[in-house]
Amino acid sequence: MRPKGTKKDGIKYLLESELAAFMKAAKKNKRDSFLFSLMLFAGTRVSEICQLKLNDVNEDSFQILIQGKKGGTSRHYTMSGKL
């Protein structure tokens, strides 16, 4: 029997209750809430989030430029209404 929050291949993930608690804690700070939501909804990596600059965010078109790491390609992410 596997522990809760563990897939059969050993990769861990958050349970719904853990994710809710995590996001509740992040909502105390608008910046943290935005960054964690971006990671969740856009599938960005921590390294991609860490290199974000204010000018990577285009508020007029609701897009964020995500710089590729390790030779990866850069991409634009269109922010959802929720984000």
Q: What was the pLDDT predicted at 5?
A: 54
- The pTM of this model reads 0.59
pLDDT tens, position by position, 29-78: 888 888 888 887 888 888 888 888 889 988 888 888 888 766 678 888 88
In sequence order, what DSSP letters do the residues of the chain get, joined into one string? -PPTTB-TTS-B---HHHHHHHHHHHTTSHHHHHHHHHHHHH---HHHHHT--GGGEETTTTEEEE--STTPPPEEEEPPS--
More confident position, 13 or 51: 51
